[in-house]
Structure 1
Amino acid sequence: MGCAGSTPKVDENSKKLKKPKAWKHTQPITPAQLKQMRDEFWDTAPHYGGQKEIWDALKVAAESDLALAQTIVDSAGIIVSNPDMTLCYDERGAKYELPKYVLSEPTNLIHDG
């Protein structure tokens, strides 16, 4: 005998994640410059509010493929407002805004060589 509430259900607040739309940086940048921008964002993001654990989960999700990212945000109770993860909330209503440069590469990324 099982409990009716024991079967997994899809949270009505959860959206299926999608790849971010293509974007272009204001000027061509190298992978090293993109990495530096990302590192600076993740180092300072918790200072804008919200929970460090949610920021950590968002970072891992941003660096993962879509299937794993979906599992991470679902497990952490993150409410995805925009399917590309640019706007999320935690269960307490704290807002988490992610710039596109932490979610995907720009179309004008300069590859050395």
Structure 2
Amino acid sequence: MGCVGSSQAKGDGNAKKIRKPKPWKHPQPITKSQLMQLRDEFWDTAPHYGGRKEIWDALRAAAEADLSLAQAIVDSAGVIVQNADLTVCYDERGAKYELPKYVLSEPTNLIQDT
């Protein structure tokens, strides 16, 4: 019985529907340009956290796309979505990919650039 449940769980993991992250707040008010700088720094260093570069590239493309395109990207890349908001994912080899919320959505305390 455990095998049947395991195979269903794995199949469901690949097909998990992506959703937008819940609203979140940055520790201090942040401008759009500061947020973009944080995102660029994360994506520039992400491959150094482990995993495969092509999976990081797919996750970046998914993070920057609308939900339906993001779903197609992670499905085609073989990404296993642990959390529906993409904060925790795995590749087919079991490598873990953790994405901070600031690369997935804007904070509630985003302010205008001056």
Both structures adopt the same fold (TM-score exceeding 0.5): yes
Q: Could you tell me how far apart the structure 1 residues matched to 2:85 and 2:12 are?
A: 17
Partner of 2:24: 23
Q: Could you tell me how far apart the structure 1 residues matched to 2:22 and 2:112 are?
A: 20
> How large is the RMSD of aligned CA atoms in angstroms?
0.9
Q: Could you tell me how far apart the structure 1 residues matched to 2:37 and 2:75 are?
A: 28
Q: Could you tell me how far apart the structure 2 residues matched to 1:80 and 1:111 are?
A: 33
Unaligned runs of 5+ in 1: 1-10
Deviation per residue, 1:62-86 (Å, 9 max, x gap): 0000000000000000000000000
Q: Does 1:79 align with 2:74?
A: no
Q: What SS is found at the alignment partner of 2:111?
A: coil
Shift of residue 111, structure 1, vs aligned partner: 1.9
TM-score calculated relative to the size of structure 1? 0.89
Unaligned runs of 5+ in 2: 1-10
- Is this contact kept in 1: 2:33–2:113, CA < 8 A? no
Aligned length: 103
Larger % of helix: which?
A: 2
Percent identical pairs in the alignment equals 76
